[in-house]
Homo-oligomer: A and B are copies of this chain.
């Protein structure tokens, strides 16, 4: 009866709670790359002891979403341009594979979610003052709605880990971008978003037609466009500035 309807609701631990919060903070890029993170201060801020924070940060370190510096201090990882390019090429491969599998398992239910998010993106973009943070969030949800159709949960998890690593960069760019949106930057940003929109529509059309090659091509363009924008904006250091 009811046992089959409710989820077991495994009472989550404080560690898991802290982990989710820190993950959100990093994902939405509320911490800059290189910024330090003290166990005690964050524990105080979250009104818990250091133990849950320790476990959460250790887990994030394991996922490379945080790193421990030479003097054991925990910080948001810096990322060089070459590292960013490596992640991008891995993303093209892994997310391309997910898209390929999504073409095989796509159906009306998946498409409904995808098109809802696509129109939400469209709507937000065509407002007079588009909220970049919201656009990034919708874009992420849209991509994962597509990858979910691959019906490969582990693959989804791997891709999530990669997005977690580039999250801080995306927002770092956003902040530094907002400081210099005087001249061409804002125009470039807008044209980039319009490009993204067209990539999305091509991608969805290809999914409907189950056209694997077209879908992968559209995804490739989408990722490349965003990547080139980040690299061109010059927010990434050419070489590693931090001691190992």
Contact = CB atoms under 8 A, between A and B. Distances in A.
Contact of A58 (B58, B64, B83, B152): B58
A15 B68 CA distance: 13
Interface in A106-141: none
Contacts of A244: 8
Given A59-B59, A90-B152, A93-B93, 18 more contacts: A8-B70, A8-B244, A55-B55, A58-B59, A59-B61, A59-B62, A62-B62, A64-B157, A83-B154, A86-B152, A86-B154, A86-B155, A87-B154, A90-B94, A90-B97, A90-B155, A90-B158, A93-B94
Contacts of A157: 64
Chain A: number of interface residues, binned into ranges: 20 to 34
Interface string A9-31: 01000010000000000000000
A54 interface: yes
A213 interface: no
Interface in A136-157: 152-155, 157
Interface of A: 8, 10, 15, 54-55, 58-59, 61-64, 70, 83, 86-87, 89-90, 93-94, 97, 152-155, 157-158, 244
Contact of A154 (B55, B90, B154): B90
A92 B152 CA distance: 14
A54 B97 CA distance: 35
Contacts of A152: 86, 89-90
Closest 9 CB pairs of A and B: A59-B62, A62-B62, A93-B97, A55-B58, A86-B152, A86-B154, A90-B155, A58-B59, A58-B58
Q: Which one of A8, A55, A70 has the highest number of Cβ atoms from chain B below 10 Å of its Cβ? A: A55
A10 B89 CA distance: 31
A128 to B, nearest CB: 40
Nearest to A19: B62
Nearest to A244: B8
